[in-house]
Amino acid sequence: MGAVTYFVRMVAKPGQAEAVQELLLTNPRRIEQGERGNLAFGVHRSTDNPNEFWLYETWVDEAAVEAHESGDAFKQYKETLRPLVEPDSVLFGNTVPIKVLGYGPLPLDAEASQSDELQGSRWPQLDTR
């Protein structure tokens, strides 16, 4: 399998939105410091509900996701995040990119290499802090 994308939605508990935002930003900081395998990582905050956050991440493959999630830093991140968000608000969307504009090209596996649908130009780094 080739590239994989995850969408994650969560709502911070009352009074915890700033702490959640700062914690969510630790993931792209680790990637900027040299964690390999990430093609795109976005931390988004809802314009309708300032307690709602969305993550968008695309990795070259499942092995890159496993490497990202296997270290002590990620385990600490999850343990710190858990009490800050409403548990019933967390939604995960595990997907395979079919067509993406704005970054790329994505690495292609044998099946996908027959298609030119996974093309584009790499997203610029966005830092909205």
**Tens-place pLDDT, residues 94-125:** 888 888 777 555 555 533 433 333 333 333 33
How far is it, in rounded angstroms, from Cα 80 to Cα 83? 7
3-state secondary structure 36-69: CCEEEEEEEECCCCCCEEEEEEEECCHHHHHHHH
Span 65-96, pLDDT tens digits? 999 999 899 999 999 999 999 999 999 998 88
Query: 4-114 — its CATH code?
Result: 3.30.70.100
Cα dist from 98 to 5, 21, 39, 40, 108, whole Å: 10, 29, 15, 15, 11
Domain residue extents for the chain: 4-114
Give this prediction's pTM.
Answer: 0.74
Span 4-47, pLDDT tens digits? 999 999 999 999 999 999 999 998 998 889 889 999 999 999 99
Answer whether 93's CB lies under 8 Å from 46's CB.
Answer: no
Question: What per-residue confidence (pLDDT) applies to 90?
Answer: 95
